[in-house]
Amino acid sequence: MRMDIISFTQNGYETSKRIKELLQVNYECNLFCASEKVTADDDIIFINESVYEWSEKRFKEKIPVVFIGAMGIAVRAIAPSIKSKLEDIPVIVIDEKAEYVIPVLSGHVGGANDIAGKIAEALNARAVITTATDVNKRFSVDVFAVKNNLHIVNKDGIAKVSSKILNGQTINIFIKKENIKKFVVSEYVNVITDREWKNINADLSQKADVLITEEYEDLGQSLTLIPRNLVLGIGCKKGKSFDEIEAFVREVFEREGLDLNRIGLIASVDIKKEEDGIVKFSEKYKIPFVTFTSEELSELEGDFEESDFVMENVGVGNVCERSAVKASENDVLLVGKTKGNGITMAVSKKNWSVDFNER
């Protein structure tokens, strides 16, 4: 994961170097500085814009940010870019002496709380967590959603569900029995499977607070979560831009009646692993991108639409369908090979389940 760290003084910059050294195994840290008075070395990148403009670019590119310095500087810098808890990037503030690590924004959905915990452990510092469910050690529905790769349909429902839990009430989560991996739950969570739905409609105490489903259904729930279990297999001519790829994928998904938010994985052949347009699409939508060798794709059995041109240039006659099937471990394609503007794509579906044993 990439992480951009910005400091404002010599002490702050020295702390940022410590963080980079300690976290380099798991994070690609870029070190920026907003003061030319700091002694330069090979790692430092001096910004030639305001800290507001610098922050705005990180929000647009969905890059987690760490501020080394005063909380006030960070708050003022990010304020113009803040949109919603489902869109904002993780923002963390660390004091110059590296004693406190404070997640400021996107603690649950963006993972800032987890990142802060890892940084604090590496620095032997204290993570200052302020989110209510964490402080009270209660079930957090948005953390649960992130860990189980579920898309949050309506963010306003998070507050309604969390409020009940923080007030000591039990919430009802409706889900099909086949999609449950582990059934161990918190004392504040009651899991109701589809076999029970028909028998409880008259009991108001059993109405749904959360519905986890592939196909939307109105059960009066406060919050709807959908699995990100679609696999996008993709291939393209070299140099296709992010805008071209995004427009084509959106067009096909809309035509097929599929929700873009359900994409949980992007797959292609390994020679495309650094294809800028695909990489940027993956980063913007926070979707993991995996690739396979042409040999791995060729080994798949099935009826795929082959191309002699693709075989000659890539080493396998079909990239999009084969990579979708390989990544999903499912030979049923929801969308077969679809071509347009030098891009090919296909969509498959992974089996999915949720683990109620994860906080």
Same domain, 13 and 125: yes
Q: How does strand 126-127 pair with strand 150-152?
A: unpaired
Q: Choose the weakest-confidence range: 44-53, 105-114, 159-168, 328-337.
A: 105-114
Of 227, 251, 282, which residue constitutes the final position of a domain? Answer: 227
Of 130, 163, 187, which residue constitutes the final position of a domain? Answer: 130
Same domain, 13 and 123: yes
160-166 contacts at long range (C-beta below 8 A, 24 or more positions apart):
160/209, 160/222, 160/223, 161/209, 161/210, 161/222, 161/223, 162/132, 162/133, 164/209, 165/133, 165/138, 165/139, 165/141, 166/132, 166/133, 166/136, 166/138
Establish if 135 belongs to a structural domain. Answer: no
Q: Are 154 and 223 in contact (CB under 8 A)?
A: yes
Q: Are 52 and 25 in contact (CB under 8 A)?
A: no
Instruction: Give tens-digit pLDDT for 226-251.
Output: 999 999 999 999 999 999 999 999 99
Same domain, 6 and 125: yes
Establish if 276 belongs to a structural domain. Answer: yes
Residue 127 pLDDT more than 90? no
Tokens of 325: 């099937």
Same domain, 64 and 156: no
Round to whole Å and give the CA distance between 126 and 50. 30
Instruction: Give tens-digit pLDDT for 3-40.
Output: 999 999 999 999 999 889 888 877 889 999 998 888 87
Round to whole Å and give the CA distance between 257 and 268. 23
Same domain, 113 and 163: no
Same domain, 188 and 305: no
Instruction: Give tens-digit pLDDT for 263-275.
Output: 999 999 999 999 9
8: CATH: 3.40.50.11220
Domain of residue 286, residue span: 230-349
Rounded average pLDDT over 123-135: 80
Rounded to two decimals, what is the model's pTM?
0.76
312: CATH: 3.30.420.180
Rounded average pLDDT over 82-97: 88
Same domain, 40 and 126: yes
Same domain, 240 and 341: yes
Q: Are 161 and 135 in contact (CB under 8 A)?
A: no
Tokens of 259: 């929700």
Residue 185 pLDDT more than 70? no
Establish if 331 belongs to a structural domain. Answer: yes
Same domain, 236 and 221: no
Domain tally for the chain?
3
Residue 204, pLDDT score: 45
Same domain, 106 and 202: no
Q: For residues 31 and 203, which has the higher predicted lDDT (pLDDT)? A: 31
CA distances to 243, 268, 348 from 319, rounded to whole Å, are 21, 6, 13
Establish if 54 belongs to a structural domain. Answer: yes
Same domain, 43 and 110: yes
Same domain, 11 and 121: yes
Name the burial class of residue 161, with classes exposed (0-12), middle (13-18) and buried (19+) by CB atoms within 10 angstroms of its CB. buried
206: CATH: 3.40.1390.40
How would residue 199 be classed by pLDDT, with cut points 50, 70 and 90? low
SS3 182: strand
Establish if 356 belongs to a structural domain. Answer: no
Establish if 317 belongs to a structural domain. Answer: yes
Establish if 357 belongs to a structural domain. Answer: no
Q: DSSP secondary-structure letter at 29?
A: E
Establish if 87 belongs to a structural domain. Answer: yes
